[in-house]
Amino acid sequence: MEQYKKEFIEFMIDCEVLRFGDFVTKSGRKTPFFVNTGFYRTGAQLRKLGEYYAKAIASTFGTDFDVLFGPAYKGIPLSVAASMALSEHYGADIRYCSNRKEVKDHGDKGILLGGPIGDGDRVVIIEDVTTAGTSIHETLPIIQAQGDVNVLGLVVSVDRMERGQGEKSALKEIEEQFGFKTTAIVTMADVVEHLYNREYKGRVVIDDKLKAAIDAYYEQYGAK
């Protein structure tokens, strides 16, 4: 596993973004782990997060595209932070764009904020995490309504590696249904590999009991 992936896993733990316990996902699944990017709360944290995203984006999609689209609400700071990192570290001046939940009828009217999207634009979508692929079905129509655009793909922070609507992973289903690439900074397999029975800052984050709960979750919801 690359060093930056190990650092990102520890970064998520430090920011309390990656948590372990009893949670329910947006799609209604009970899960022993949860990723909440709403817990990146400081400028320093967002700057660092943007750098990790930029590395994943550049590795998979390169930097020759036009718009980085972050669906509201959590995608808004993600698109801003990552576009800044792409500019700073890769010399790529890419427009950030997000949608509003409510259409604005005064000033800069419309459903979008940030840079515009139009015919011929190449777009990468940035999200926090995809569990069952629900959110992409809401996001794509918004982007496609702006013109004849080319969606290159989707980047998330963590691939939960669980089933989407069928037996395959949500990210794999998105690739097959919409015909574009998906990528993640890390997968849950990376997380388990790095943290299982390993002490980090004085504690073992994933012990045998938690590992058993994660294994049981994947028995039920894991992608085939």
Domain ranges for the chain: 3-221
Element spanning 191, H or E: helix 188-195
**pLDDT in the model for residue 111:** 81
**Candidate list 55, 89, 101, 106, residue with the active-site label:** 106
Q: What is the mean pLDDT of residues 129-145?
A: 83
**pLDDT in the model for residue 131:** 61
Q: What is the mean pLDDT of residues 134-153?
A: 91
Question: Does the pLDDT at position 104 exceed 70?
Answer: no
| Residue 201 falls in the annotated catalytic set | no
Q: What is the mean pLDDT of residues 198-215?
A: 96
12: Cβ contacts below 8 Å, ≥ 6 apart:
18, 35, 157, 158
| Residue 172 falls in the annotated catalytic set | no
Question: Does the pLDDT at position 107 exceed 60?
Answer: no
Residue 204, SS3?
strand
pLDDT digits (tens, 9 = 90+) for 35-46: 988 899 999 999
**Candidate list 26, 30, 104, 137, residue with the active-site label:** 104
Determine contact, residues 95/67, Cβ cutoff 8 Å.
Answer: yes
**pLDDT in the model for residue 106:** 56
Which of 190, 79, 53 is CA-nearest to residue 143?
79
Report the distance separating Cα 152 and Cα 19, nearest Å. Answer: 31
For residue 199, the cross-strand partners are 204
**pLDDT in the model for residue 224:** 80
Q: What is the mean pLDDT of residues 76-83?
A: 96
DSSP letter for each residue of 111-149: EEEES---TT-EEEEE-SEESSSHHHHHHHHHHHTTSS-
Identify the architecture of domain 3-221 in CATH: 3-Layer(aba) Sandwich (3.40)
Question: Does the pLDDT at position 127 exceed 90?
Answer: yes
Backbone phi and psi for residue 61, each to the nearest 5 degrees, phi listed first = -110, -10
Structure tokens at 161: 């590696």
Question: Does the pLDDT at position 193 exceed 70?
Answer: yes
